Amino acid sequence: MTSEKITTPDGATLEVFTTGGEAGSKGNGVVVVPASMVTAADYTKFAQKLSAALGRPVHTFNRRGRGASSPQPRDYTLDVDIRDLAAVMEHTGSTDVFGHSFGGAVALHAARTLPVERLAVYDPAVSVNHSVKADWTAEYERATAAGDFDRGLAVLVKGVETGGAFSRMPLSMLTLANKLTAGTPMGKQMRELMQAGVREIKAVIAADMPAEPFLDLPLETLIVVGEKSPAYFGVACGQIHDVLSGSSYTILPGYGHDGANRAPDRLISELAAFFAG
């Protein structure tokens, strides 16, 4: 894997990682748009396996607020990540895109206007007809304003429901678990990204729309949902699939929301076949 920093049209810096090719490799690559609460490094296994299966470079990048990329602006909206995706696509010469969770929401909205030829998403956190709700954000903000970041993180984890068994723990137990894991690499990363994560969830809700505008998506669109993922992912994806006649909709058996990061062979094979055309 190689890395480089690119500059966006608005002067921001993005950290881009290339697997299966030299940094700045041009043409026929796949751009990966990461989820919230994670960094490009969390897709290393995924990128390695997909690149090997395709025989093509895979480009992951740290969205703003992560790694060596610029911070998120205070007036952040989904359009910031859409413009950044456009910059990465142009720099790498890639027209195939994979998005996971929040990255899937970015990819779905972006592909309506960007020159994306093939689009694949896994558990995209897109809001269609108010399928994504975040009534918990007020409680999160009260906790963090009081300096109780362990409780704030617990509210976030329970609210998005993507943490599997952890999401179903009582709030008090989850808060204690956060205290105990605060010094671990994962605990530190969660705390570093929690404010950006909540900002991104609000941006998804602000970009809510009916399913019909997604008719502008590429005909070649693959939608994958984890069998054990929260139900709201399937609600939005089902509505998009219903209006997008050329899309493919599949369920990854046995996996939850982190299925993309785990990179099981079944998912990699399906994505490789799709991106190979």
Say if residue 24's pLDDT is above 60: no
Strand (E) or helix (H) holding 53: helix 44-54
Amino acid at residue number 16: V
pLDDT at 26: 66
pLDDT at 160: 81
Higher pLDDT, 141 or 81: 81
**Strands of the sheet with 2-7, listed across from one edge:** 2-7, 13-19, 58-62, 30-33, 96-100, 118-122, 220-226, 248-252
DSSP secondary structure letters along 95-156? -EEEEETHHHHHHHHHTTTS--SEEEEES----BSS----TTHHHHHHHHHTT-HHHHHHHH
Q: How do 220-226 and 248-252 pair as beta strands?
A: parallel
Amino acid at residue number 173: M
pLDDT at 98: 98
How far is residue 203's CA from residue 126's CA, in Å, rounded to a whole number? 10
Say if residue 97's pLDDT is above 60: yes
pLDDT at 243: 93
Higher pLDDT, 23 or 244: 244
Say if residue 25's pLDDT is above 70: no
Hunting for tokens 């390695």 — which residue is that? 48
How far is residue 158's CA from residue 175's CA, in Å, rounded to a whole number? 10
Say if residue 44's pLDDT is above 80: yes
Lowest-pLDDT range, 20-24, 52-56, 90-94? 20-24
Q: Is 172 exposed, middle or buried (0-12, 13-18, 19+ CB in 10 A)?
A: exposed
Mean pLDDT of the chain: 92
Q: How confident is the model at residue 158 (pLDDT cuts 50, 70, 90)?
A: confident
pLDDT at 190: 85
Mean pLDDT in residue range 99-106: 97
Mean pLDDT in residue range 213-229: 93
Mean pLDDT in residue range 95-120: 97
How far is residue 155's CA from residue 152's CA, in Å, rounded to a whole number? 5
Q: What is the dihedral of CA 160, 81, 35, 203, to 10 degrees?
A: 0
